[in-house]
Structures are given as structure tokens and as C-alpha cells.
Amino acid sequence: MPPAADAAARVAASTAGTSRPRIPAFDHLRGYFLALIVVTHLYLMPNLVEVVTGRGALPASAAEGFCAISGIITGYVFLPRVHRMGVRPVAVKLLRRAGLVYLGAVALVLIRLMFAARNGEPVGIGTFVDALLLCQAGSVAPDFLAMYAVLVFLSPLVLWAARYRREWIPITITAGTWIAAQFLPELDDAWLMRLSWSFVFVVGIAIGCRWPELSALTHRVPRRTRRVVGIALVVVFLVTALAAEFLIFWNHHLLVAATDAPPSAVIEALRTIEGRFLAEWAWFGPLQEKASLGPARLVIGTLWFAALFLIFRAVGPTLDRALGGLLSTFGRNSLATYVTHRLVIELVIAPTVWVWIAQRDNLLLSTAAVVATEVVVLVCVRAWIAVRGAVRRRRASTGRESISTASPGTTATDTTAAGGDEELRPTPVVA
């Protein structure tokens, strides 16, 4: 297809009421972010996977990436449905999903409250009410899902605005809440994140809604220019991410390991680097604050996200096959993956082997525990997918039987359960 015709087709697809083809890079990228979140929540350090995760303490983390890609997927998949079916059916589906996320958030907090009560912390009716309201419940902070539930709950409003090409309205509103978060340090982290991270999610929805148009726009740029810009983005990402890893973690680890070593020029250089880093961090730290999503964090996160998308568009399928389908499984079943990894860590690993592994302070042992946890979560999610599939097939067969016995003129309705990531299931795959 000629470039002009291809661009026209992409733009037409942006507003047509038809399903859009699946983009594997979206699945793989969201699965990658979830895999990193699993590692971060284990808190087993040091481990070899820290080279990738940064313990969640880098100038941008997997959590923001997950929030952004989830917004993009929501806009990409659901805007055509809004055009085809109207806002109401789509809103019902998204609100149902927001309810599932809310139940997951409350359940995880209640589990932590159970352990807190076993350790002697008083847990009263007010504590349970706080948990239900997604507020701080005693010593237990709201889970990340609490914020995500709010974002999904509000997403139909963004899609409604996008239907009339007025997504700039929710973007402007959430930009205002992001700015407000920069000047409200007295708020707790949960509320700061709801104010600031909503901006990332809403911008993500807008990008997803206009993805075909944006893609057509980039294809107007000469291929050579696109290639140079893409390579530059990836190089900037690799250099800055590795530099942040070294400055935040590995330089300090090397100095600790060299405590008893005789003085040398190398050790003195490492100490100088650490001293300079700590001095500069005094002013840079607030600019990359995670809860309020500081300006530097927003810029760095945007650059890193763009680079990671290019990387996963190129090597995502190969990497997914090498990992046994982990990325696609996690990415297409994000809620199940998140809840499962929390349950595995908090109900199985934390009460049993976590302390023993942490006390060993062994790099290889911690790495093995991280890998084993990822495998266990993967197996559990796939088992859940199999059970869900069996239930759906049974419902479908029951529906067909009832239709076959119905009077002439009866039509079938969609009996698909809404337990999975429905927004991740648009029609065919595109490379």
C-alpha cells in the first residue's frame, strides 16, 4: 500500500467503529512491567535481577510504566467500541472491571490487616471502614490497586470526551491535579499518587485513542530519521538507566565490599563519586519524587517508556518465547497476575522462607528465589486461565443448548464472562 493510502487507512481506523488489531508490543511491555513489579515486591536483596529493576528506586520505575501502558491499551481498544456501541455499554464493562480491581485492592489490605492483628496491632471497625474506603487502614497503606481502581472507574469519562475529540479536557484537568500534587507534600503517598498518576493514565488513554493517527504521523517522517531517533532514544535509556543503577546502588555496594581494602586511587574515586552524588541528590531528589511524580521523573519516565516500547516492538516476541510466554501471559492477564503475585508473596513466601533467604544475604540464593517466584506466579496465572476457559466453554455450551430449544427468531447474546483483561482482546495480531 502506498504511504499516503496507508496513512489514510490508519487515520480512518482511529475513528471507525471497528476493532483494532492487537499490537503484541503492548502485551509484552505490560507483562515486562509486571514481572519487574514482582521482583521489587519480594525485597530480596541483592539479586542479579536488580540490574533491570533498580529496586523501584530509579528515577522512573515499572509502576509508572504499568500505569501508562494500561491507559494506552484502554484507549486503543475501547474507543472503537464506544463508536460502535455507544458509551454506556463500554462504561458498564469498565465499571465492572473497576469493581474487580477494587475488590482485589480491599482483599489485599484485609490480608495485611490479618497479619497485623496477629502481631498485636488493634484492628477495629474503623480500620475496616478505612480499608473499604481505600484509605490508610491502621499501619497498612492502600495497595497500588486502590489507585488503579479509581483510574479505571474514571476512564469512561475520558473515552466519552475522546469520542468527540475533546480528550484535551480530561488531560487539562489531570494536569492541574498533577501540578497541585507538587505543592501538597503534606498529603500521604496514596492521595499524592491519585492526584499525580491520573495524569499519566489519562494521557495514556488519549494516546491509545489516537494511536493510528500518531502512527500515521510518524510514518510521514523519513525512515532514516525515524531510525536515528529510535537508536538515540534506546542509547539514552541504556546510558541513563545504567548510570542511575551505578550511582544509587552499585557504587555504594563496591565501597562497602572494599571497607577493609587498602587505600587506592579507584576506591578514592568511588568515594568522590558517592560524595558528589549525595550532594547533588539534595536538590535533584524532590524533582524525581515518586508519589507526586516530580517533573524530572515525568520527563525521564517518558523517555525510558518510549525507548522500551521500541525495544519490545523489535525483540518482544523473541524474548517472550525465550521466557516461556511469561510476558504475554502476564500482559494479557494483568489483574490476575498482580493479585496472584501478592498472594504468593504474602501468604506463602513471607510467612515461610523469606526471612531465612534474606538473612543469608546471598546473591545467587536471592536470585534463585526471585526466578522461582516468577515461575510460580506464571503457573498459577495459567491455571486460572485454564479454569476460566473451562467455565466459559461450559456457559457457552449451556447457552447454545438453551437457544436450540428456544422458539424461532430467538437470538444469541454474548455470554462471555468478564473475568479477564477484556481490553487486551481485540481481533487479529499485527507485527
Tens of pLDDT, residues 43-65: 888 888 877 777 777 889 999 99
Mean per-residue pLDDT, 106-113: 93
Q: Evaluate if residue 4 carries a pLDDT over 60.
A: no
Higher pLDDT pick, 361 / 228: 228
Least confident of 2-11, 62-71, 89-98, 217-226: 2-11
Question: Average pLDDT, whole number, for the chain?
Answer: 86
Cell triple for residue 67? 500505569
* Rounded mean pLDDT, 221-242: 94
386, pLDDT greater than 90: yes
Tallying the residues shown for the chain, one arrives at 431
**Are 248 and 54 spatial neighbours (Cβ–Cβ below 8 Å)?**
yes
* Rounded-to-integer distance, Cα 166 and Cα 162, Å: 5
What angle, rounded to 10 degrees, do the helices at 62-85 and 87-118 form? 150
Q: What is the pLDDT of residues 288-318, one digit of tens each?
A: 899 999 999 999 999 999 999 999 999 999 9
The pLDDT value recorded for residue 117 is 87
Mean pLDDT score, 399-409: 57
Give the residue, 262 or 334, on which the prediction is more confident. 334
Average pLDDT over residues 138-143: 87
User: 72-94, pLDDT tens digit by residue?
Assistant: 999 999 999 999 999 999 999 99
Q: What are phi and psi of 403, to 5 degrees?
A: -70, -40
Cell 505543592, residue?
A: 183
